[in-house]
A = this chain, B = another copy of it.
Amino acid sequence: MSTELTPEPDFTDLDTYLDEAGADGYLVDADGSSSTQRYLSGFDAPDPFITIYTPEKTALLVSALEYGRAQTESRADSVSRLADYDYRSIVSEYNATTAKARVTAKWLQEHDVKCVVTPERFPLGPADTLREHDLSVSAEADDIVTTIRAQKTETEIEHIRDAQAANEAAMETAAKLINSATVDDEILYYDDEILTSERIKQAIETTLLQHECALDETIVACGSDAADPHNRGHGPIYADEPIVVDIFPRSKQTHYHADMTRTFLRGTPDETLINWFELTQNALTTAIDAIEPGVTGQYIHDIVCDIYENAGISTLRSDPTAETGFIHSTGHGVGLDVHELPRVSPDGGKLKPGHVITVEPGIYDPTVGGLRIENLVVVTDSGVENLTTYPITPLGT
């Protein structure tokens, strides 16, 4: 690997935050589908469990069912069971959710934790029960853990590379369907049936499954669908119109994501589309070349806006009410969440080594269609490394 990143997350900023807030620890009550829970605990379980992070140690409180696995799989220094705290008899007096919170209070007191900070979306019911037991509980809205999560370790980047490899195989599946389709009366056919957005999405998702990745949604949007960046696409694929394919799979094993967009076109693109494609490819390359530690996400976004505006394309920067042109941000962080920090947008802060971000310029206009090209890159100690090897080929065949 050319990147030189830390093998383990660095929680120094969290320690400083807790110290300044006068808090003993950071408390999470969530199941493994919560990225912050997964990140802090190093553990995945289908039902909510409790993690307390303190500068000295990380401890977990889990059900008996998860106890053995939590001891071997999590990153916790200590694991406790609800049953260790007389859980069953408390349940019979209260209900299960209140009982769990009462046990959490006892367990925190045993760990000398009296004052905790939590994620903004920590559950209210348990929080109120903890407060009734003289614990100080306050939700933070400062992105403290998500900011740490944004800087990936070498291991995390390997997980993202693996998801991206699956993503590229899926993109190739889509490209093959589109490129080997026959065209009849402006409509694409494959195996004598109309090639639809739905068929391509199913082929993409099947390929991802074969690579142990999953996703609930994929964008395969043609024609006027492609002109709306939020449209998932539906119905027949037409010749001479751009087809936006945006795939953002999650590894079933590691839960890390990848993200990539390509725009295809069967037939002959009109002059405007050819210009837009070249402009967008130029915006992509120029923006990526400018990425290095210390520059801001805003600066990278401005580069893309400059290129578009100089070519007469409207952007949300030049016109906040624009409905055509470049009408979204340049990119976003990718990790355990498919959209996470840092921002590559008007309010994007400084980029740091280990930030994995998308760069995805695009132009949209219902009278012409839409196109977008998106690569996934990682900020390195000295600049940037492209995590995307899938080619960008000119429109039209």
Q: Taking beta carbons and an 8 Å cutoff, which residues of A are in contact with B?
A: 65, 95, 97-98, 118, 120-128, 137-142, 202, 205-206, 209-210, 214, 216, 230, 252
Contact = CB atoms under 8 A, between A and B. Distances in A.
B137 A120 contact: no
B125 A123 contact: no
A205 B205 CA distance: 10
Q: How many copies does the complex hold?
A: 2
A124 B141 CA distance: 11
Contact of A122 (B65, B118, B124, B202): B124
A121 B209 CA distance: 32
A235 to B, nearest CB: 15
- Please list the 8 inter-chain residue pairs (A to B) with the smallest Cβ-Cβ separation, ordered nearest first: A120-B125, A125-B139, A121-B123, A124-B139, A122-B124, A124-B127, A97-B141, A124-B124
Contact of A209 (B65, B125, B209): B209
Contacts of A141: 95, 97-98, 125
20 contacts: A95-B142, A97-B120, A97-B141, A118-B124, A120-B123, A120-B124, A120-B125, A120-B126, A121-B124, A121-B125, A122-B123, A124-B127, A124-B139, A125-B140, A125-B141, A127-B127, A128-B138, A202-B209, A205-B209, A206-B209
Nearest to A66: B230
Nearest to A208: B209
A124 B97 contact: no
A125 B205 CA distance: 36
Contacts of A140: 125
A125 to B, nearest CB: 4
Nearest to A69: B230
A84 B86 CA distance: 50
A236 to B, nearest CB: 18
Nearest to A142: B95
Nearest to A204: B209
Contact of A202 (B97, B126, B210): B210
A139 B205 CA distance: 39
Contacts of A65: 230
Contacts of A126: 120
Most chain B CB within 10 A, of A98, A124, A216, A252, is at A124
Contacts of A230: 65
